[in-house]
């Protein structure tokens, strides 16, 4: 697709891609450090027509990768600065991870600008531990930081692996969710997000939220996940009529010579752009 794109200036582009090859706290399979580059390389093979429209016409700019050396807080600050640069162009940040911790850096900048907004999380895991393996910045804690530290409302889709601490925290905080078993066995509700959920949202999509049959290339694959067309329908339901402040796709751990997973992640990024272009409220 990149060879078909007409170059657009940052100030004339809606979608600003920020690669963040951060991998410090993975607890099972590694490789997410290579995820952003694999997605970018696979994107060259995408068709500009996504089946409904050409979201690339909104303009897509790819920024330099965020430097990921140093302490977690330092890297989060760099991600936050990259998002500030994007917002300086009135663009929408599209963060490519890297492990799921990278979401926190983007959320911090957007919270400074917008105050409260909702997070819609697609994931196999709840990521609501207060600390994991000695770090509050673990990928297993990123949504806990968003809720506890930033005070952001959260709705979770596709979760099917969580601990008792996370179950209790969900109850205490009233965190809405439709877990993997519900999505696999019951019809979708007519209204996906709960009444009163913010009109402004950020979408975070951990690729392990997808079923392992279509996305085995991730650090902790869990069976019983969301299928492709289910994911597209859920995204449309979440985004329709709302203002999307940004989104990320994280936790791709490429498998050598298995191009399908890289392509799937790239198509996911582009399809989310298309859904935003057609169904979201744009500024």
Give the domain ranges of the chain.
2-279
Q: What is the pLDDT of residues 126-161, one digit of tens each?
A: 999 999 988 999 999 999 999 999 999 999 999 999
> Residue 249's pLDDT band (boundaries 50, 70, 90)?
very high
Secondary element (H or E) of residue 233: helix 228-239
**pLDDT at residue 106 greater than cutoff 60:** yes
pLDDT at residue 149, rounded to an integer = 97
**pLDDT at residue 99 greater than cutoff 60:** yes
Looking at the DSSP assignment, which residues form a beta bridge with residue 97? 20
Q: What is the mean pLDDT of residues 240-246?
A: 98
**pLDDT at residue 22 greater than cutoff 70:** yes
Residue 246 phi/psi, 5-degree rounding, is: 170, 175
Tell me the angle at which helices 259-279 and 35-43 cross, rounded to the nearest 10 degrees.
70
Span between the terminal Cα atoms of the chain, in Å: 26
- Listing DSSP states for 115-168 in one string gives SS-EEEEE-SB----S-BTTBTTSGGGHHHIIIIIT---EEEES--B--HHHHH
User: Which pTM was predicted?
Assistant: 0.96
- Give the CA radius of gyration of the chain: 17
Helix (H, G, I), strand (E, B) or coil at 88: helix
Q: What is the mean pLDDT of residues 32-45?
A: 96
Q: What is the mean pLDDT of the chain?
A: 95
pLDDT at residue 2, rounded to an integer = 56
**Better-predicted residue by pLDDT, 7 or 206:** 206
Q: What is the mean pLDDT of residues 239-263?
A: 97
pLDDT at residue 26, rounded to an integer = 63
CB atoms within 10 A of CB 73: 11
pLDDT at residue 1, rounded to an integer = 65
pLDDT at residue 28, rounded to an integer = 55
pLDDT at residue 25, rounded to an integer = 64
Query: In this structure, are residues 128 and 166 in contact, taking their beta carbons and an 8 Å threshold?
Result: yes
Q: What is the mean pLDDT of residues 275-280?
A: 98
Helix (H, G, I), strand (E, B) or coil at 251: coil
**pLDDT at residue 8 greater than cutoff 90:** no
pLDDT at residue 160, rounded to an integer = 97
pLDDT at residue 4, rounded to an integer = 67
Fold classified for 2-279: 3.40.800
> Residue 27's pLDDT band (boundaries 50, 70, 90)?
low
Q: Give the span between the Cα atoms of 232 and 236, in whole angstroms.
A: 6
Q: Give the span between the Cα atoms of 95 and 85, in whole angstroms.
A: 13
């Amino acid at each position: 697709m990149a060879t078909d794109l007409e170059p657009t200036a940052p100030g004339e582009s809606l979608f600003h891609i920020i690669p963040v090859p951060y991998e410090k706290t993975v607890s099972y399979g590694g490789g997410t450090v290579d995820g952003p580059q694999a997605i970018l390389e696979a994107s060259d093979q995408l068709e500009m027509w996504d089946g409904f429209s050409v979201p690339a016409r909104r303009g897509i700019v790819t920024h330099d990768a965020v430097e990921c050396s140093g302490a977690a807080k330092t890297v989060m600050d760099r991600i936050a600065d990259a998002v500030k640069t994007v917002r300086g162009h009135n663009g929408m940040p599209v963060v490519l991870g890297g492990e799921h911790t990278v979401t926190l850096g983007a959320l911090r900048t957007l919270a400074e600008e917008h105050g409260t907004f909702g997070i819609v999380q697609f994931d196999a895991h709840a990521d609501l531990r207060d600390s994991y393996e000695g770090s509050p910045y673990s990928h297993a804690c990123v949504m806990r930081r968003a809720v506890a530290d930033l005070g952001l409302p959260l709705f979770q889709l596709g979760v099917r692996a969580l601990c008792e601490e996370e179950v209790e925290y969900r109850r205490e905080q009233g965190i809405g969710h439709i877990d993997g078993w519900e999505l696999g066995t019951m019809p979708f509700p007519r209204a996906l997000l709960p009444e009163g959920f913010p009109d402004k949202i950020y979408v975070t999509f951990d690729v392990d939220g997808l079923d392992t049959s279509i996305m085995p290339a991730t650090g902790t694959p869990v069976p019983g996940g969301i299928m492709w067309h289910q994911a597209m329908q859920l995204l449309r339901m979440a985004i329709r009529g709302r203002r999307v402040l940004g989104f990320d796709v994280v936790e791709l751990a490429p498998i050598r010579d298995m191009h399908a997973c890289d392509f799937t992640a790239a198509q996911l990024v582009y399809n989310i752009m298309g859904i935003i272009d057609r169904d979201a409220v744009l500024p």
